[in-house]
Chains A and B, each alone.
Chain A
Amino acid sequence: MSLVLISHSRLLGEGLRDMVSQVAGPEVQVAVAAGTEDGRLGTSAPLIVGAIRTALAGGPAGAADGVLVLLDLGSAALSLEIALEDLTQLERSRVRVSEAPLVEGAVLAAVQASLGATLEATYEAAADAATMSKLPRA
């Protein structure tokens, strides 16, 4: 299981990858497509395709069984849509897109993936981010 993080901001994407790796451990592969090719705020379909293919290729342990994609806001979804059309059917069948909030979803998904979970289980773990309580209760 690998993750792809899509953000409008390169700093946000790289920072989140750093955080996710520290929490979940280095064995979960995380690819980032954040910012535009020329470093501005925005998203880029070609960068997303590249990140998904990197994630699919996996790490030293071999190709990833699946790739969970998480994204931030607005037009990230449009760029992703274009990127997904570029994938082959076989590639597309190993990719799932999460609705989860980016930061919380990425952390939950990465920890689930670190347990050797399937794409489905990782998707479900990320989905929990939407209802997870954040502030301590009295």
Chain B
Amino acid sequence: MPEIHLLVIDPTGLHARPAAKFVQLASRFASRIVIRHADREADAKSLSGVLGLTLRPSTEITVSAEGPDALAALEALKEELTPYVTPLIPESVQLVKGELPA
């Protein structure tokens, strides 16, 4: 399953507005998209789930996607979150780790 690792850099964490934009964007894709932090995870299409992770600044998150448009979804989400997060591992390495959809 392809995934991207991100570091929250916004000084207020992943707050309501970016979280809402994240959920709105994730909902446009058919893939199942999960956002994980430490041992907790949330459905990226649920605002209560994403806000419930209460992501502070400087926390690491992993976003994974499974489905026909998984790679496109991750690319779009990374772009959308750009002002708030930064990739932790170079993208080329991350995508090698993921499997291409059948």
Contact = CB atoms under 8 A, between A and B. Distances in A.
Contacts of A107: 16, 20, 47
B54 A137 contact: yes
B46 interface: yes
B54 A125 contact: no
A23 B19 CA distance: 9
A129 B49 CA distance: 10
B76 interface: no
B56 interface: yes
A125 B47 contact: yes
B13 interface: yes
A136 B56 contact: yes
A111 B54 contact: no
Contact of A111 (B13, B23, B55): B23
Contacts of A135: 54
Nearest to B54: A136
User: Contact size class for B?
Assistant: 10 to 19
B38 to A, nearest CB: 8
A23 B17 contact: yes
Contact of B54 (A24, A115, A134): A134
A24 B22 CA distance: 11
Most buried by A among B13, B17, B48, B56: B48
Interface in B35-50: 45-49
Interface in B47-72: 47-49, 51-52, 54-56
A132 B24 contact: no
B23 to A, nearest CB: 6
23 contacts: A23-B16, A23-B17, A23-B20, A24-B20, A107-B47, A108-B47, A111-B23, A112-B47, A114-B20, A114-B24, A115-B24, A115-B45, A125-B47, A125-B48, A128-B48, A131-B48, A132-B48, A132-B51, A133-B52, A133-B54, A134-B54, A136-B13, A136-B56
Given A125-B46, A132-B52, 4 more contacts: A115-B23, A133-B52, A133-B54, A136-B54
Interface of B: 13, 16-17, 20, 23-24, 27, 45-49, 51-52, 54-56
Query: Which 3 pairs of residues, A with B, have the shortest CB-CB distance?
Result: A128-B48, A136-B54, A132-B48
